[in-house]
Structure 1
């Protein structure tokens, strides 16, 4: 009975958290020129405007480019860091791991404010490289945690066996270690992409006229026009996140 009650409470909480997000979907089809709920009528006008307005489609392209580059950089660095942490003594490794996952603990606004001054001095404000580096700081913990979780289950005797059969360290890593770590690396890459694609706070500090991401464009749309096109953009973000999380689920099952 207690298990059933706990499941019901958890389900109710999930529904409560998801309902506001699901309410955005019908608003994106409203015929009115402003956000209203319940929506009035049905039209695909706002999706059409999203894909035809240069500001919106340009910000979508910027977000996609930044998210892909962030996923590549964060996955590469995070995997290397996780492998290095696995070689450290337990206490030292725990302290260093905590340092790398601080961006998950510290409020994002503090991270954004801390990054702004060095980025401004380095000329990285309002640039795609600046956004990629800033988002990588936020995405690294997800890669490190996922790869480290797989590393803890890695049977090092398999690697030793490969070495004893004549494999060089590079070949043993490529043929044995890397395939075992692949699910954690893939999961970290998915979370890194989603983290970058949805990030708004750090992007508000780093982005500019030459590098406006979709969440920043949505923030501006909410502040200045309250158009249903923002709801359409939100639905597209939700679809991207759901697709990527589905891919992550399929990777986990495999």
Structure 2
């Protein structure tokens, strides 16, 4: 009993930290009336779900906009990350460690300061309040995952297989298409998923660059919270949570141990 009790207590604490906030979101999503000092809602129902799905509520438009921006961010990030990741993994690049570190700089600087500065620059060149402007801001952060994971995916490919293909007469392009790219593809998928999840949850960049013309789900969630509409905010949070959970299961399948071990090396 003594041996498993600490483990059980630790597991219970972890479960509480993870499931506690989620359970509160679920309660608020179905609460129609909940006033202090009641421990639980006094009325339950789907009234606020109906409000969210009203055409005038803008939730569906915000969801569509979030998906469009996230998909465009994935496309731009991967177009930049695949050649960059391949070069960093397979070519001798001077100051490679500094180049890899440069992709982390946007994460090291407080995001509010970064996005405020970007917002001022975009305003002067006409990108403020546009989808391309928001996509560029999301790509700035997406490249961290895209380049690092893509580089690790290419680094994990066995070079002996490529050498064998070249010995059999394959051209460099054929080796890349038939050997390197298929073997690195699971890591590329994982990289794209991380970029997608980061984009669809991005708030600060969208706020400083896109508002008021661009409305995404995180912006809608923030607006509802500031107005005290906790039910609307909780329902919106559920919409953001579902793809995150589904895609993380996919990432666990595609991001293999050999690829993960190469990240940052």
Normalising by structure 2, what TM-score?
0.85
Residue by residue, what CA displacement relative to the aligned partner does 1:147-201 show, whole Å, maximum 9, x if unpaired? 2222332222211222222222222111111111111111111110110000111
Q: 1:111 to 1:5 in 2, by over 3 A?
A: farther
* 2:111–2:204 CA contact under 8 A, matched in 1: yes
Q: Among 35, 39, 46, which residue is 1:44 paired with? A: 46
Residue segments in structure 2 that go unaligned for 5+ positions in a row: 258-265
Contact 2:154–2:180 under 8 Å retained in 1: no
The farther-off stretch of 6-15 and 215-224 is 6-15
* Structure 2 CA distance for aligned equivalents of residues 12 and 66 of structure 1: 37
Cα distance in 2, alignment partners of residues 147 and 2 from structure 1: 42
Find out whether 1:97 has 2:95 as its counterpart.
Answer: no
Conservation of the 8 A alpha-carbon contact between 1:33 and 1:228? no
Flag structure 1 segments of 5+ consecutive residues without an equivalent: none
* Cα pair distance change 1:31/1:127, threshold 3 Å: same
CA deviation after TM superposition for structure 1 residue 33, in Å? 8.4
Matched, 1:184 2:187: yes
Name the CA distance, whole Å, in 1 between partners of 2:5 and 2:188. Answer: 35
C-alpha change, 1:41 and 1:197, in structure 2 (3 Å) is same
Query: Over the residues paired in the alignment, what is the CA RMSD in angstroms?
Result: 2.8
CA contact (8 A) 2:85 2:150 kept: yes
Residue matched to 1:198: 201
Runs of 4+ in 1 over 6 A off after TM superposition: 1-4, 33-37
**Displacement, 1:126?**
0.7
- 1:123-202 matched pairs, under 5 angstroms: 123-202=126-205
- Total equivalences in the alignment: 254
* Aligned-partner Cα distance in 2 for 1:225–1:172: 58
Question: Higher relative contact order by CA 8 Å / sep ≥ 6: 1 or 2?
Answer: 1
Aligned 8 A contact 2:89 2:152 in 1: no
Contact 1:150/1:184 (CA < 8 Å) preserved in 2? yes
